[in-house]
């Protein structure tokens, strides 16, 4: 479902000229990110679920650690960028095309990806430098920083402080910007005289808010709260596996533009002869 849903959004957004807008450009980035999440963590996880001897090579563990950190950090920033796009569309409709130029969209997307991978590189190096003293049993579904820190046989307070600081920067700061953006959007929607305009703005923004709630809720629970390991790994499983599966459904169920693009792509766009 994850592969089908996210691939469909990417292909339809690329094929249909009507969807060549900033909103669907960022949505395609999000779908590509979700595809990478699933394909980098899912296959080995499924193999271990069916195996009596659950193990992972060190190289694969390092790759999982870096990739999951990169994609998670990128999604934090990308969701904030998408909120700014919706703010501009609703609150600055006459200047929307001028503000959200192709160049700015590319710059914001590149900033999200580069920031995410840079943060992951630093965290991965700091985590792997810790001595493990032979500890190699990870009580988790995949290699993630909180689980890896538990393997260290030295004081990890400095690493935990750095993890907390970066989590605040990458989770709470973008979330704060998203909430501010939607505060302005809500005020602008309430001032609209057209019921159709209010419904369209609400439907578009509601999808994004649902995705934000799913991702940030579980990520904050994992990285900003000291839960027990069992509860922490279940939350990680949710935002790495369940959320990428639900995102395409959330964005397409009530989206008439995507429905129309799918019909056109499948050749079901009916016409009346002689008109």
Residue 49 forms part of a structural domain: yes
Residue 164 lies in a domain: yes
> Does residue 121 fall inside a structural domain?
yes
Q: What is the pLDDT of residues 193-222, one digit of tens each?
A: 777 777 777 777 888 888 888 888 877 777
Q: What is the pTM of this model?
A: 0.84
DSSP 8-class letter at 136: -
CA gap 26, 261 in Å, rounded? 17
The pLDDT assigned to 272 comes to 42
Q: For residue 269, tell me if it sits in a domain.
A: no
**pLDDT digits over 100-109, tens only?**
999 999 999 9
Query: CATH number for the domain including 125?
Result: 1.20.1070.10
| Within a domain: 275 | no
- Using pLDDT thresholds of 50, 70 and 90, give the confidence band for residue 271: very low
- Cα–Cα distance for residue pair 119/114, rounded to 1 Å: 9
Please report the sign of the dihedral spanned by the C-alpha atoms of residue 28, residue 76, residue 181, residue 106: negative
Retrieve residue 236's tokens: 């990680």
Q: Is 270 a member of any domain?
A: no
Neighbours of 211 (CB within 10 A): 20
146-173 average pLDDT score: 83
Tokens representing 181 are 């953006």
In a domain, 236, yes or no: yes
Note down the domain range covering 237. 2-262
Residue 239 lies in a domain: yes
Give percent above pLDDT 90 in the chain.
Answer: 21
Per DSSP, the residues of 94-110 read GGHHHHS-HHHHHHHHH
Q: How many domains does the chain have?
A: 1
Q: Minimal CA–CA distance to 73: which of 243, 215, 245?
A: 215
Are residues 203 and 88 in contact, defined by beta-carbon separation less than 8 angstroms?
no
Mean pLDDT for 39-61 is 81
Would you list the DSSP string of 11-68?
HHHHH-GGG-SHHHHHHHHHHHHHHHHHHHHHHHHHHHHT-SS----HHHHHHHHHHH
């Amino acid at each position: 479902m994850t592969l089908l849903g996210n691939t469909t959004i990417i292909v339809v957004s690329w094929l249909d000229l009507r969807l060549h807008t900033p909103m669907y450009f960022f949505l395609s980035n999000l779908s590509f990110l979700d595809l990478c999440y699933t394909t980098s963590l899912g296959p080995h996880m499924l193999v271990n679920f069916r195996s009596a001897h659950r193990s992972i090579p060190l190289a694969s563990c390092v790759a999982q650690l870096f990739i999951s950190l990169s994609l998670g950090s990128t999604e934090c920033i990308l969701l904030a960028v998408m909120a700014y796009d919706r703010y501009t569309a609703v609150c600055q409709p006459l200047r929307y095309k001028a503000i959200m130029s192709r160049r700015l969209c590319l710059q914001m997307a590149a900033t999200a990806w580069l920031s995410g991978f840079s943060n992951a590189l630093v965290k991965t190096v700091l985590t792997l430098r810790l001595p493990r003293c032979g500890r190699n049993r990870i009580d988790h579904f995949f290699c993630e920083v909180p689980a890896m820190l538990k393997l260290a046989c030295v004081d990890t307070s400095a690493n935990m402080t750095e993890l907390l600081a970066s989590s605040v920067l990458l989770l709470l700061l973008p979330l704060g910007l998203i909430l501010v953006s939607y505060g302005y959007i809500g005020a602008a929607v309430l001032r609209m005289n057209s019921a159709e305009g209010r419904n369209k703005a609400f439907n578009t923004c509601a999808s994004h808010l649902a995705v934000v709630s799913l991702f940030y809720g579980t990520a904050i629970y994992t990285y900003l709260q000291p839960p027990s390991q069992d509860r922490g790994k279940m939350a990680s499983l949710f935002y790495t596996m369940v959320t990428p599966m639900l995102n395409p459904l959330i964005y397409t169920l009530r989206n008439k533009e995507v429905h129309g693009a799918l019909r056109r792509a499948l050749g079901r766009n009916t016409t009346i002869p002689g008109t």
